[in-house]
Amino acid sequence: MRSSRVIAAIAIAVGTVTAAAACSGGSSSSSTSASASTSATSATLTWWNDATSGSLRSVWRSVIKSFEASHPGVTIQNLPHQDEQFTTAIPLALQSDDPPDIYQQWGGGQEAAQIKSGKLTNLTASVSSWIGQLGHAVAGWQVNGQQYGIPYDMHVVGFWYRKDIFAAAGITSPPKTIDQLETDDKLLQKYGVTPIAIGSKDTAQAADWWEYFALRECPTQTIEKAMTLVTLSATCFSKASAVLTAFMSTTPFNATNVQQGPGSSASLVANGKAAMELQGDWDPSVIESLTANKDIASELGWFPFPTVPGGQGNPTTVLGGGDGFSCTTAAAEPACSEFLRYLDTAAVQQMIARAGAGLPANAAAVRAISQAERGAEATYRGAGFVATYFDVALPPQPGQNLDNAVSNYFTGQGTLPQIVASVNGPA
């Protein structure tokens, strides 16, 4: 799951979290402000999340304390799980007679597959009065127009680059087209640095590249149809592979692992050995943790994935995702849906943002993100379409097949036809 890519950022994020902060601003004018529970009976909600350590875990503890204080009779049992455990733990739990009341949810095809268990609560009616304030973020947690999950943070993928290195190489502004990116790559190579670091030894990082070329080549409706029908048979997907290959022929990459210590792609950018990388909004926190350069945050810039000449995709489409939660049919209502609403209030959203979890789902909390993240946030809010990571938008197995096929191609162990065929096979 893509969410595993932000664990490092969460673990090193800096921020002071207190129970008082959870309560401050609770009377915000935002319509996502949660009211006291109308339930007259006691309720205990078991909550599976992936905050096993770091600042976000402290946030969740404070959130539980403040929510319980304003909802007498409701008790929330915090049961963190390692992120990678959700792949197997959730399907098994939904097959059992004792699923968690609330669990971490990434939406898309994974959520659609989970609905077949009959254990997910349709939240559409209970959230209709306030969920519109979250904008297009909510679409990733809808199936057939119905809301089965609620996001609490969002992610967007784009380029993080070293402004100081760009300037030294004679690049005056970030590239807006692939042709301009290739020109800049040559200037950076001439200057003596690797243009782009890529963690292609980790499957999702390589997949981001192929998926962005697909988003630039394919119309939005084609993308949506492909995810729904679980097929990449449209010719634009094959064209995306060809354009990616042409770009790779310019040898712009230094391939390594992603965000895993001194030799990672983030470390290469942090220490000036590479000028940029295609990565999520959380990258500045990771980069800061991998260098002794105290000014690194001010040296980082952001730009969206460039346009591709002749491509039929929306040029403002971005690739992203986020983290959210679902209620199961075992959960007491309205307590469960009210808790999800509480997570999206401005006060709690600010706490989540300061913990480095991601961009706030509620725009009212944008002021809480770092200056370095503002460009990524503006790109996300201004996007014409937010395409969910393909491995999340697709059912679990085809999504993993695609990640593996793209990674194999990057490492010389696969072919272009295998990328498309990886999803066109049986789900």
The closest alpha carbon to 321, from 138, 61, 166, 80, belongs to 138
* Number of domains within the chain: 2
Q: Nearest to residue 342, comparing CAs of 106, 52, 130?
A: 130
One-letter amino acid of 185: D
Q: Check which CATH number belongs to the domain holding 239 and give it.
A: 3.40.190.10
- Helices marked H in 292-395: 296-299, 335-343, 346-354, 374-381, 390-393
361 with 412, same domain? no
The sign of the dihedral angle between the CA atoms of 293, 298, 301, 302 is positive
Question: Do 8 and 145 belong to one domain?
Answer: yes
> CA torsion 210→403→390→118, rounded to 10°?
170
Domain that holds residue 91: 2-155+319-387
> Is 262 found in the same domain as 134?
no
Pairing assessment for the beta strands 146-147 and 194-198 based on DSSP bridges = unpaired
Q: Clarify whether residues 178 and 309 are in a common domain.
A: yes
DSSP code of 321? E
The pLDDT of residue 279: 94
Per-residue confidence (pLDDT) for residue 104, from 0 to 100: 95
Same domain flag for 357 and 416: no
For strand 142-143 and strand 146-147, is the pairing parallel, antiparallel, or unpaired? Answer: antiparallel
The model carries a pTM of 0.86
Distance of CA 28 to the CA centre of its chain: 26
Same domain, 212 and 80: no
Whole-number Å distance between alpha carbons of 303 and 305:
7
The bridge status of strand 74-80 relative to strand 43-49 is parallel
Cis check: omega of the bond before 426, within 30 degrees of 0: no
Q: Hey, what amino acid is at 61?
A: R
CA 39/CA 62 separation, integer angstroms? 22
Co-location of 281 and 304 in the same domain = yes
Secondary structure class of 305 (helix, strand, coil): coil
Tell whether 141 and 44 lie within a shared domain.
yes
For residues 141 and 151, give the distance between their C-alpha atoms in angstroms, rounded to a whole number: 7
Alpha-carbon distance of 396 to 322, in angstroms, equals 16
- Report the pLDDT value the prediction gives residue 203, as an integer from 0 to 100: 64
- What are the contacts of 263-268 at 24+ separation with CB within 8 A? 264/199, 264/290, 265/197, 265/198, 265/199, 265/205, 266/197, 266/199, 266/290, 267/291, 268/194, 268/197
Looking at the structure, tell me whether residues 309 and 188 fall in a common domain.
Answer: yes
End-to-end CA distance of the chain: 17
Q: Check whether residue 372 and residue 410 sit in a common domain.
A: no
Do 373 and 331 belong to one domain?
Answer: yes
Task: Looking at the structure, tell me whether residues 172 and 275 fall in a common domain.
Answer: yes
Low-confidence ranges of the chain (pLDDT < 50): 1-40
